[in-house]
Structure 1
Amino acid sequence: MSRQGIEGSGFLKRRILALVLVLGVMVMALPMASARHKQNVVPRIIYVPHDNRPISNQQTAEVVQKLGYEVIVPPDKLLGNRQDLGHPDELWAWLKENARDADAAVVSSDSLIYGSLVGSRKHSYTKEQILARTENFKSFRKENPKLPLYVFGSIMRTPRSGAASGHEEPEYYRSYGADIFRYTVLKDKEEVEGLTRRETKEAAFLEELIPRKHMQDWLGRRDKNYSANQQLIKLTRGKLFNYLVLGRDDNAPYSRTHMESRHLDEEGKDLGKTEFQTMAGIDEMGMLLMSRAVNNLRKDVPFVYVRYNWGRGPATVPAYSDERISASVSSAITAGGGMPVTSPANADLVLTVNTNPNGKTYEANDRANDGRPREGTAYFADIVQEYVGKGYPVGIADIAYANGADNALMEELKKRGLLFKIKAYSGWNTPTNSSGFVIGAGMLTKYMKDADVDELLLTRYLDDWGYQANVRNIVARQLTWLRGDGFYGSLDAKREAVGLRSTRLMEQFVQENLPPFKSLEDINVTFPWNRMFESDIQRGERKDFRYFMNTAAEKTKKTAK
């Protein structure tokens, strides 16, 4: 072989050797790169709330976002509100498109079947349409066989009266709501323990009093809802869901809601509580299942220790519920993926529950909620102070009053410097809404930075204490002073003026009660549902307009040059 041939052969061998070495390095690097990729990927959770209220939507997502997770929520235009009942078919399309790269999905069956929670009460869909949408879960599971799927839905509520329905029931409920409620109380009691002769006559009288077409419509809606819930239980049995919870929306110890819940419990009695349960409440379910999704992704089971105020404590049957608060708390811990423990020493959340010693729940707009200490106030504050002093991660379920904070307790916590030494707080809406939300959020705080915990506390203090327990009541009494048409449940022409007045009062509340956080410099209160019951409180750092104006001027000068 010639010298040139030998040199050419050597060159070729060196090229092949170099190529082998490069390929080897690449092969070795692939697992490392893959490992780095997995380590750096931000967990992604799909969340379909049951409507677009701040508490259902942004405030629930905010808790999980504080962990550094990405929470993907449908566009607001697809979610239901008070006037727009939602868009179930469009929501299904959105869910299927966005679920491909998700690590978990937490979805409202009410949104995907009826469009929203309010839609579940006021829709005009046929039973066939409803069951067909329920069947969509089968194809969704087939397309996403490994996606952890957590589903929450509602057992239709039974408001005590037309006024209590808040315009979220069919129009006839305004006139006959109290009669319908009483009728369902008697029918439920008849099944459980029987009726007296007098009660039997009362039930017969109510059957005659309530127009037949209204009763048929109301019961017909409930039958559709019940059938859909039956089907959801069957799908859970078929392992389509990782977890299903059905919430008993506003109800009572005897009511149609309580009756249907008993029957659905019977339907799913072969399923364990780690697969399916019914619970008192509904608005807190999204938070609880988001917590469950996070805990399962982390392969963690948080321990929760519970301590009640003295008196009736765990035996309290709170307003809007049909069971003892201890049962609701236990169910919420399970739904959130936690475990109750008997000692606070090793708990991930020490939940303190502010009940009234007499076992009653009052409304936050009661005149008695004036900030002066009541029976049990100092005792409960002592419990919180003791646990904080021992370094325990304390959460407070403030349920002495429904629909707002206990002003006496909040004043005591402020006086003792405890407001930002606890980990979680909730005192909004129904007692079970509050207890469930603080359990779901509180179990996740151990993964958060202190600054993020403080921001979540600010959200609750502004809404539950500032607005619901104080500002809302003040402005509600001033509504007649404002020009234009509108009232508490439908602000209409008064909406902007109510927003301005509420904003000023919230700014005053912040100055008097909270530290000077940067995120409290600019407050704005609006009413997305055109009523005073809930508000959207936006906050942030105050913008230095002079700085921006100067910056813009400097840029203009540079461009001119």
Structure 2
Amino acid sequence: MKYIINYILLAVLAVFLLTNTAFAQFKKTILFVPHDNRPISFHQTVDNIRALGYNVITPPENLIGNRDDLGHPEELADWVLKNAYKADYAVLSSDALVYGSLVASRKHDLTIATCQKRAQNAFDELHQKYPYLPIYVFSSIMRTPQTSAASSEEPEYYRVYGTSIARYTALLDKQEKDGLTGKEEKELKTLKAQIPAKDLQDWMLRRAGNFTVNKYLVDLVKNKDISYLILGCDDNAEYSQTDRERRLLDTYAGDINGENYQSVAGLDELALLMMTRAVNQMKGDIPFISVHYAEGTGGDTVPAYSNEKISASVKTHIKMAGGIEIPNDKRADFVLLVNTDKYGKTYAANELNNTITPHENTASFVDMAGKYIMQDKNVGIADIDFGNGSDNALMNMLWQKNYLSQLKAYAGWNTPTNSSGYTIGMGMLSSYANKEETMKMIVPRYLDDWFYQANIRQQVANKMDSFSGQGNYGDTMSRTAQAQNYAESLMNKAVEKYDFAKIFNNYNWDKLQVSFPWHRLFEADVIVPEKNK
């Protein structure tokens, strides 16, 4: 009898070990649907998670929206249903699953009923089929570009009336929140008369569809059909239609606001934050983050494209990713340093004032970074002094001090909140990473944000007219290959100038490639393979 009992116990133990071994392997898989196929939205974000050894399942790229093809939402939803059984977590863009892509969410001609039906088909069915799958959703609150210059991703009439529409709706928002002066009341009436009623109606109707979908997603969180929901405000301002809708949605969320639901300034960084949250959940960890700002306005800076202080966005991003902001550096798993302009301004990285000449607070900021690096802390820098690229003075000084290879996270791309959120996600992930894995995450940022966005981008733009064929900054057309080759030559010169082959010697620098996947100069895909691949 004793032997029989021992045999049974051994058999049970064997089944337990086998089950948990399979579970351990299965538990490292995230199913991810991005809101488009831009490098930062798609493969660069995915690469950060894969660098740590996690499996990320992504849809066939032909289903993901790009510049020319706005996406295939129904096919994407079907793909999710068929593949979710493989995943331990799902991180999904509602813009992709409802409209097809982020750009499609701004230009579609869908009825409100169709939008809501697609949301039901995508998320209701997923929860019903996989009731125990944690579903993290990120969605946009439709942006309000402040000028007509941002019209390439908006309806055609925005080229003419975009600035007026933005100002008109900003005044409506201010009227609701704070009231208008007599002068502003007159301006409001004048703008309403100037904007064609059919164009304004079209724009507001599309926004109504977006608002309805986001309310529905909030309901799904309340019903526990969605585990976590982030609403991101893309291209926002203190007074804007985007800000008004965010306010209404936050109020509608009620008790879940700040728990399983959160809204924040910024959007493109949310995918990495949600996947970081999934990794933290799988690790069973809650990272502690301490935050410090450059001298001057610092955390009170309200950066461009945002409607709130950067300190508020940072605090929210940390919470979204599953961490806690703490005041104690000693207990921090990651120290975030935010490079802000001393006077709270946000400049454009491709402007002439982005030189290597240090600003008033550059040296003190670099000294602060050096202090924490010498303490062997995991240090990351959110570089938001400039929008759409790095601060050249900061990067040059970090290079001179030999700090580039000692940082654990860095971002300086696109809007300031994109950069700060992305740095937070990367910094949390770096807590689980070795040196090689960290470099896989950070080297692409140096190449893209610093070399390309802050420098090479404008040099290529200035050269475009000398290339044969047709094309310009916004659409490279038949000049694409020439622009890529020129950008690649400039990138190689920068790599040589800053001795990257020596600093980051695990890469085949002679095989570096630069491409423009969206056929415009605003974003580039810079790829350099590792030596062992």
Give the shorter-chain TM-score range: over 0.9
Q: Shift in Å at residue 19 of structure 1? A: 11
SS in 2 for 1:270: helix
User: In the alignment, what sits opposite 1:139?
Assistant: 125
The answer (yes or no) to whether the contact 2:267–2:418 under 8 Å persists in 1 is yes
Matched, 1:373 2:362: no
- Residue 501 of structure 1 pairs with residue 509 of structure 2: no
Letter in 2 for 1:98: N
Cα displacement (A) at 1:130: 0.5
The share of aligned pairs that are identical, in percent, is 46
* C-alpha contact 1:314 1:325 (8 A) present in aligned 2: yes
| Deviates further, 515-524 or 188-197 | 515-524
For 2:142, the aligned partner's letter is: M
Q: TM-score, normalised by structure 1?
A: 0.91
* Whole-angstrom distance in 2 between the partners of 1:260 and 1:213: 21
Counterparts in 2 of 1:79 and 1:21: CA distance versus 1, 3 Å? same
Aligned counterpart in structure 1 of residue 246 of structure 2, from 258, 261, 282:
261
- List aligned pairs for 1:471-486, cutoff 5 A: 471-486=456-471
Q: Report how far residue 269 of structure 1 moved.
A: 2.2
Report the AA paired with residue 290 of structure 1: M
1:512 maps onto 2:497 in alignment: yes
- Mapped partners of 2:150, 2:438: distance in 1: 34
- Once residues 42 and 66 of structure 1 are traced to their aligned partners in structure 2, the CA distance between those partners, rounded to angstroms, is 16
The answer to whether the Cα contact below 8 Å between 1:158 and 1:181 also exists between their aligned partners in 2 is yes
Q: 2:153 is matched by which residue type in structure 1?
A: E
Alignment of 1:216-365 (within 5 A): 216-365=201-350
Amino acid in the other structure paired with 1:455: K
- Contact conserved, 1:42 with 1:69, CA < 8 A, in 2? no
Q: Which position in structure 2 is the counterpart of 1:152? A: 138
Separation (CA, whole Å) in 1 of partners of 2:277 and 2:531: 36
Cα separation, 2, equivalents of 1:237 and 1:428? 34
Out of 200, 203, 206, the residue aligned to residue 215 of structure 1 is 200
Shift of 1:272: 3.7
TM-score w.r.t. the length of structure 2 is 0.96
| Matched AA of 1:119 | A
CA distance in 1, matches of 2:12, 2:294: 62
Matched residue of 1:378: which SS?
A: helix
Match of 1:559 in 2: none
Measure how far apart 1:480 and its partner are.
1.1
Larger mean CA deviation between 25-34 and 81-90 belongs to 25-34
Long gaps (5+) in structure 1: 1-17, 545-561
Q: Secondary structure at 1:540's aligned position in 2?
A: coil
Task: Determine if contact 1:522/1:542 at 8 Å carries over to the other structure.
Answer: no
Secondary structure of the corresponding residue to residue 37 of structure 2: coil
SS at match of 2:395: helix
SS at match of 1:487: coil
What is the CA-CA distance between 1:266 and the residue it aligns to? 0.9
Other-structure match for 1:123: 108
Letter in 2 for 1:150: Y
2:516 pairs with one of 523, 527, 532: 527
Matches within 5 A, 1:46-125: 46-125=31-110
| Inter-partner Cα distance in structure 2 for 1:258 and 1:333 | 21
Residue 390, structure 1, aligned to residue 375, structure 2 = yes
Contact between 2:27 and 2:87, CA under 8 Å: does it hold in 1? no
**1: CA distance, partners of 2:497 / 2:478:** 31
Structure 2 unaligned segments of length 5 or more: list them. none
> In structure 2, what residue type is equivalent to 1:390?
Q
Task: Summarize the Cα distance change of 1:44–1:543 in structure 2 as closer, same or farther, 3 Å threshold.
Answer: closer
Deviation at 1:451, TM superposition (A): 0.8
1:343 deviation in Å? 1.1
Give the residue type in structure 1 aligned to 2:110. Answer: Y
8 Å CA contact retained: 2:39, 2:525 = yes
Deviation at 1:104, TM superposition (A): 0.3
SS of structure 2 residue aligned to 1:420: helix
RMSD: 1.8
Task: Measure how far apart 1:36 and its partner are.
Answer: 3.3
Partners of 1:266 and 1:436 lie apart in 2 by: 24
8 Å Cα contact 2:26-2:86 kept in structure 1: no
The secondary structure found in structure 2 opposite 1:268 is helix
Output the CA distance in 1 between the equivalents of 2:117 and 2:530.
Answer: 48
Q: Aligned equivalents of 1:198 and 1:20: distance in 2?
A: 89
Q: Deviations over 1:293-335 (max 9, x none)?
A: 1111222110010000011001100001011000100110111
State the Cα distance separating 1:291 from its structure 2 match.
Answer: 0.7
**AA paired with 1:295?**
N
Distance (whole Å) between structure 2 residues aligned to residue 246 and residue 39 of structure 1:
31
Distance 1:24 1:322 in 2: 62
Q: For residues 390-428 of structure 1, what are the alpha-carbon distances to aligned partners after superposition, in whole Å with 9 as ceiling and x for unaligned?
A: 111101000000000000000000000100111100000
Q: Hey, what does 1:450 align to over in structure 2?
A: 435
Farther-moved stretch of structure 1 (61-70 vs 37-46): 37-46
Read off the aligned partner of 2:226 and give its amino acid letter. F
Closer, same or farther in 2 for the Cα pair 1:297/1:39, shift >3 Å?
Answer: closer
Q: 1:344-400: CA deviations, max 9, x gaps? A: 111111000000111101000111111111111101001100111111110100000
Paired with 1:23 and 1:345, the residues of 2 have a C-alpha distance of: 50
Q: Is the CA contact (8 Å cut-off) linking 2:301 and 2:310 kept in structure 1?
A: yes
User: Deviation of residue 271 (structure 1)?
Assistant: 1.0
Q: Aligned residues, how many?
A: 527
Query: What displacement does 1:496 show?
Result: 0.7
Query: Is the Cα contact below 8 Å between 1:85 and 1:123 reproduced in 2?
Result: no
1:542: how far off?
A: 7.5
Contact 2:51 2:440 (8 Å CA) reproduced: no
| Counterpart contact for 1:521–1:541, Cα < 8 Å | no
Give the letter for the 2:67 counterpart: R
Residues 374, 142 of structure 1: alpha-carbon distance in 2 compared, 3 angstrom cutoff: same
CA shift in 2, pair 1:542/1:142, >3 Å: closer
What does residue 528 of structure 2 align with?
539
Deviations 1:227-252 (A, max 9, x none): 11111111111111111010001011
Describe the superposition over 1:145-187 as per-residue Cα deviations: whole angstroms up to 9, x where unpaired: 110110000000010112123x100011011111111111111
Q: Distance in 2 between matches of 1:369 and 1:479?
A: 21
Aligned counterparts of 1:195 and 1:230: Cα–Cα separation in 2: 29
Q: Tell me how far 1:126 sits from its aligned partner.
A: 1.2
Q: CA deviation at 1:463?
A: 0.5
Distance 1:349 1:199, change over 3 A: same
Contact 2:514 2:524 in 1 (8 A): yes
- Alpha-carbon separation, structure 2, partners of 1:21 and 1:430: 63
